[in-house]
Amino acid sequence: MRLIRKILVLIEMCIFGLGAITIGLVIFPILALFLDETKRRKHYADIIHWSWKFFIWIMKTTKILNIHINGNLDDIKGKIVVASHPSFIDIILLIGQMPDSLCLAKKELLKNPFMRNIVKSLYIINDIDTNTFTHNATEALKEGYNIIIFPTGTRTLPGEEIKIHKGAAQIAIASGINIVPIKIETDYPFLIKNSSPFNAGEKPVNYYIKVLPEIVTSNFDIATMGEIKARNHISEQIKKCIN
């Protein structure tokens, strides 16, 4: 059974990779010929949402995983979404369930020829000038997109002490938009850091996705606290929610 599941995971990762290459190198460039720049992001976001939703459907159908959602992800619109990050496919799970969602990425991903068009279209580059970063994020939020952030910056292991990066707090302060924390947990260490990607256990891995109460940005008095203190308080609140 373990061998069969390993083979299925290998096949599905190949499907995902081929899909990313096809979308980034074929579909997006063709659409760019017919869509002006203002319409591209919406169409591209829809394509990624539905293709990743389909990929998750494949993983569920082949019994690699099950997803249990506590809360309504469809109702989240134009919010800063911060999530715990136990596995490689967390962003695929969230964008596959949440239409009109973007994510943060490092600018080095723009050098990847297979991912460049996807990153340019659907990701907010975060390791750039702070003012440019917060401006780009704020504009995307105003357009109604969610921005999904893994504030730990990388996958975390069970029981590991986490460190929260300040990107989500910076965007919240700049935009005034509330933060929606999401806790992602699994009952088996699937696609975790420093582990074989083909270790899928002997039965479906259960993903538990819980939408937590919003962190209200206006509750943090920036004028009184000062931006640095407010940012630290918001980050600490995020940590309490997703840890």
User: pLDDT digit string (tens) for 4-50?
Assistant: 999 999 999 999 989 988 998 899 889 989 888 778 889 999 999 99
Helix 90-97 and helix 37-61, axial crossing angle in degrees, nearest 10: 110
What local confidence, expressed as pLDDT, does residue 110 receive? Answer: 66
What local confidence, expressed as pLDDT, does residue 201 receive? Answer: 87
User: pLDDT digit string (tens) for 163-220?
Assistant: 999 899 999 999 999 999 999 999 999 999 888 888 888 899 999 999 999 999 989 8
The two tokens of residue 231 are 């940012």
**What's the whole-number mean pLDDT along residues 220-235?**
86
- Dihedral angle sign, alpha carbons of residues 12, 18, 21, 26: negative
Helices (H) and strands (E) in the chain, counts: 9, 7
Distances (CA, A) of 23 to 8, 26, 31, 107, 126: 22, 6, 10, 19, 23
CA pair distance 79, 101, nearest whole angstrom: 9
| Cβ–Cβ under 8 Å, residues 204 and 105 | no
CA pair distance 181, 129, nearest whole angstrom: 25
Is pLDDT larger for residue 71 or for residue 126?
Answer: 71
Residues 6+ apart with CB under 8 A from 214: 79, 178, 179, 180, 181
Token pair 């965007």 in the structure block, residue: 171
Total count of residues recorded for the chain: 243
